[in-house]
Chain A
Amino acid sequence: MADAEENLASTSTTNATDKEAAKICVLLNATGNVPIIKKRTWTVDPNKTVSWIQKFIHKFLKLDATEQIFLYVNQTFAPAPDQIIKNLYDCHGTNGKLVLYYCKNQAWG
């Protein structure tokens, strides 16, 4: 958890360094019966993968090892686990944000 907190820095950080500026703003939306993460906006290193975000949410919500997190881009498709956030943001980002939906069951095929 400590590791994840360190990397997934909060957007409320005021003294954003240049490195922070290069990060990508990700909006996490809960869907279905998954617990909600109150803080929805996070900044993420552009080279982090989809599976890294899945693991982060899994840990954050303290889910059982048997439970799985599914991620969707704009309620349309599930990106591959090794896809990087930068590629998704460059192609599917809107208004400076990448909008991701997470759930515990497959939602949009």
Chain B
Amino acid sequence: MAHDREVLRMIWEGQIGICFQADRDEIVGIKPEPFYLMVSRLSYLPLVTDKVRKYFTRYIAAEHQDGAVWFDYNGTPLRLHYPTGVLYDLLHPEEDCTPWGLTIHFSKFPEDTLVKMNSKELLESHYMSCLKEADVLKHRGLVISAMQKKDHNQLWLGLINDKFDQFWAVNRRLMEPYGDQESFKNIPVRLYNDDDFTYTQKLISPISESGQKKSLADLMAELSTPERKAVGFRTHGIDLHEETQVQWMSEHLSYPDNFLHLSVDYKDV
């Protein structure tokens, strides 16, 4: 497989500057200074915020200190099991102003809107499920089920410890084409509408009916209805060119969970 390694590296190194503030109602005594942190776009908030939690713990009321931590941006609770880059791109702070201002909460976990994924173990099992589902779509699950437990661990450890080589040594096997073909069976993709955390998943073949590799323009046509037209795609903060091949995108622009997370712009017809 002709891997464009440079692209993989650039995607891996994408970071977001975040400014964390405390929840005023949880503070006792003096108001703490904000906490600044650069986090990977590809990781998950509960995996990178141990330091943030520890820092604010001293300032908040004792009864909240062991509470389930969650975050909001301008009042919108952030899903703990979505990659941080996906959350950032969906909420796209105006003018891409960095740092991204988030509030950390230790109490009143919004159980109606957020899935409680604040332990590393829960996130790990969620992550592995995503990988399995992606491989079911790409290879009927044959590649992931042929792997050993140590390979699964290597992917997870590579992600949480920010080790590119460790991660890709295993992940490249998940990026092989299906059987004797030149592409995957289907493309694992989650399609988001702007300002909405819900996504659509459907079977997207990388090959068009005429046997050609599908481009983003083909995908736009596929997702358009008589009422609305798909006019643009974004991921990792990048507006994608419509000539980009969908198979190439899946190999190079997928998050570590092996899904493409695309924000789709629609225009009413």
Instruction: Say whether A82 contacts B137, CB under 8 Å.
Output: no
A contact residues, total (Cβ < 8 Å): 19
Is A1 positioned at the interface, with any CB of B under 8 Å from its CB? no
Instruction: Say whether A77 contacts B129, CB under 8 Å.
Output: yes
Instruction: Say whether A76 contacts B133, CB under 8 Å.
Output: yes
Instruction: Say whether B136 contacts A87, CB under 8 Å.
Output: no
Instruction: Say whether B202 contacts A90, CB under 8 Å.
Output: yes
A80 to B127, CA, bound (A): 10
Instruction: Say whether B115 contacts A76, CB under 8 Å.
Output: no
Is B128 positioned at the interface, with any CB of A under 8 Å from its CB? yes
A108 to B141, CA, bound (A): 13
A76 to B79, CA, bound (A): 24
Instruction: Say whether A80 contacts B202, CB under 8 Å.
Output: no
Is B210 positioned at the interface, with any CB of A under 8 Å from its CB? no
Q: Which residues of B contact A51 (CB under 8 A)?
A: 115
Q: Which residues of B contact A21 (CB under 8 A)?
A: none
Instruction: Say whether B125 contacts A90, CB under 8 Å.
Output: no
Instruction: Say whether B115 contacts A82, CB under 8 Å.
Output: yes
Is B74 positioned at the interface, with any CB of A under 8 Å from its CB? no
- With contacts A91-B137, A92-B136 taken as known, whether A80 is within 8 angstroms of B129 at the C-beta atoms is yes
Is A8 positioned at the interface, with any CB of B under 8 Å from its CB? no
Instruction: Say whether A80 contacts B136, CB under 8 Å.
Output: no
Q: Which residues of A contact B115 (CB under 8 A)?
A: 51, 80-82
Q: Which residues of A contact B136 (CB under 8 A)?
A: 74, 76-77, 92
- Interface membership of chain B positions 135-147, coded 1 if the CB is closer than 8 angstroms to chain A and 0 otherwise: 0110001000000
A106 and chain B: residue at smallest CB distance: B125
Please give me the 6 A-B residue pairs with the lowest Cβ-Cβ distance, nearest first.
A77-B132, A87-B201, A90-B202, A77-B129, A77-B133, A78-B129
